Amino acid sequence: MFAALKAEFRKLFTVRTTYGITGIALFIVVLYSFYIEGIRAGNSAHLATKLASEVPGAIQAVSMLAALVAVLLMTHEYRYNTIMYTLTSARRRTTVLAAKIVTISTFALLFAVVVGSLAPAMAYLGMQIKGLDVAVQQFPWWDLAWQGAFYTWALSMFGLLFAALFRSQVASIVILFFAPGTLEALAGLLLKKNVMYLPFNALNQVLQAGTSVGPDRLSTGHAALLVLMYLVVGWTAAWALFVRRDAN
């Protein structure tokens, strides 16, 4: 397992796309948080939850890019046929899949920590440079940490899951970008209020801390559990296919 993990980390960090996509994500966070949420904060600087609100906002804005990195880690193997080396180097295919999940989980958590720390820091810096009076801030560390980390991790796991199921780079990226918005919105026309039980809808509810729970809204804990259930079912199917399918 250690050898497979080491190989997966090397795969992740020896291609330009990982750095390019991460760089774009950080650039967006810095630009948006510093300029829009900091320099141009205006009266919102007086809100006690101003900086805390930067975390879910930034996480939601750029976590899709972490998921894109996850898609590429898996689909590059099939696109460039390196999967044959990967599978013949490991004793079991399950080890390979587990190594990819652990690698992307680690990357997603680091990504969430950096984005979640950078966003309020940049907003604060922007407000300070602009000379705005920043209110005394309430910062629910624990909630922000687990919800932000869970959101990025789960979205990355969905990305990796689509890649494991479809193996095609284009198909995986299309599904990743269309499923949360377009597909679930269309499903919402049929499901009405039950749309909150769909995976990406539930995932979005994980980030909406403080919003009151109601008939069309799950608690963050329940939403996270529901997302986990989708991931467990999806990954069970992906694992069953991964260990049996031809490697091409």
Partner 1 sequence: MIHASHLTKKYRKKVAVDDVSFKIETGKVTGFLGPNGAGKSTTMRLMLGLDSGNGTTTFDGKHLGDYSRPSKVVGILLEAKAFHPTRTARNHLRVLAAAGGIPDSRVDEVLDIVGLKDVAKKRPGKFSLGMSQRLGIAAAILGKPKYLMLDEPANGLDPEGIAWLRQFIKDYASHDNAVFVSSHLLSEMSQMADNLVVIGKGKLIAATDMDSLLSASAHAGVFMRVIGQSKLERILRQKAVTFERSDDGLLINGLKTDELGTLAYEASLPVLELAAKDASLEQAFLELTANSEEYRTHGEEKK
Q: Which residues bind partner 1 (CB under 8 A)?
A: 3-4, 6-7, 10-11, 14-17, 76, 80-82, 84-92, 244-248
**Cβ distance to partner 1 smaller for residue 192 or 244:** 244
**Cβ distance to partner 1 smaller for residue 4 or 218:** 4
Q: Give the DSSP letter string of 21-45.
A: HHHHHHHHHHHIIIIIIIIT-GGGG
How many helices and strands (H and E) does the chain possess?
Answer: 10, 0
Both tokens of residue 94? 């399950």
**Cβ distance to partner 1 smaller for residue 82 or 211:** 82
64 touches 149 (CB < 8 A): no
Closest approach, Cβ 190 to partner 1, in A, equals: 35
**Cβ distance to partner 1 smaller for residue 7 or 203:** 7
Closest approach, Cβ 34 to partner 1, in A, equals: 31
**Cβ distance to partner 1 smaller for residue 15 or 121:** 15
Closest approach, Cβ 138 to partner 1, in A, equals: 45
Closest approach, Cβ 108 to partner 1, in A, equals: 21
204 touches 195 (CB < 8 A): no
Closest approach, Cβ 109 to partner 1, in A, equals: 21
- How many angstroms separate the CA atoms of 103 and 240, rounded? 20
Closest approach, Cβ 78 to partner 1, in A, equals: 11
**Cβ distance to partner 1 smaller for residue 133 or 246:** 246
103 touches 8 (CB < 8 A): yes
Both tokens of residue 156? 């990355």
Residues in the chain: 248
| Angle of helix 50-79 versus helix 199-207 axis, rounded to 10 | 140
Task: Indicate the SS3 state at residue 152.
Answer: helix
